[in-house]
Structure 1
Amino acid sequence: MIEVTKLNDKKISINAELIESVEETPDTVISFTTGKKIVVKESRQDIKNLVISYKKEIFAGILNN
């Protein structure tokens, strides 16, 4: 899970595995494989970096076992 900020300043955790696309229009819209979309304050690059960090944590846990 990664934490993002909705436009109303509420923090939410989302499942990074379900992200289908991230688009800046100019607000950042995250589309999920479920068809749901949310608008967040983070940039597209910020979301990309959060997902990369999340994946590194997951794979580090697997490799360290």
Structure 2
Amino acid sequence: MITLTRLTGDTFLLNVPFIEQMEARPDTTITLWSGKKIFVKESLTEVKALCEEAYRKMGLVGSIINPERES
């Protein structure tokens, strides 16, 4: 789960696997698989970084491998 801030200033936890898509319009809009839309203060870049870190902690995303360094 990631901690986000609604436009009203209230913080909440969001279960990352329920996210279908995110857009900046100009507020960051998160659409869940259920169709529900959530508007948050964090930028699209911030939310993406939080999601990536959450998936990394769950062990669902590994580190990025640089193909030029592999032999």
**TM-score normalised to structure 2 length:** 0.81
Letter in 2 for 1:31: T
Larger radius of gyration: 2
Report runs of 4+ in structure 1 exceeding 4 Å deviation: none
Matches within 5 A, 1:16-27: 16-27=16-27
**Which segments of 5 or more consecutive residues in structure 1 lack a partner in the other structure?**
61-65
**Which position in structure 1 is the counterpart of 2:36?**
36
Aligned residues: 60
1:57 to 2:31 alignment: no
Counting helix residues as a fraction of each chain, which structure ranks higher?
1
**Which segments of 5 or more consecutive residues in structure 2 lack a partner in the other structure?**
61-71
Identity of aligned residues (%): 37
1:12 to 2:27 alignment: no
Question: Aligned-residue CA RMSD in angstroms?
Answer: 1.1
**Separation in structure 1 between the aligned mates of residue 56 and residue 11 of structure 2, nearest angstrom:** 22
Structure 1 position 36, deviation (Å): 0.5
**Separation in structure 2 between the aligned mates of residue 38 and residue 51 of structure 1, nearest angstrom:** 15
Structure 1 position 13, deviation (Å): 0.3
> Relative contact order (C-alpha < 8 Å, sep 6+): which is higher?
1
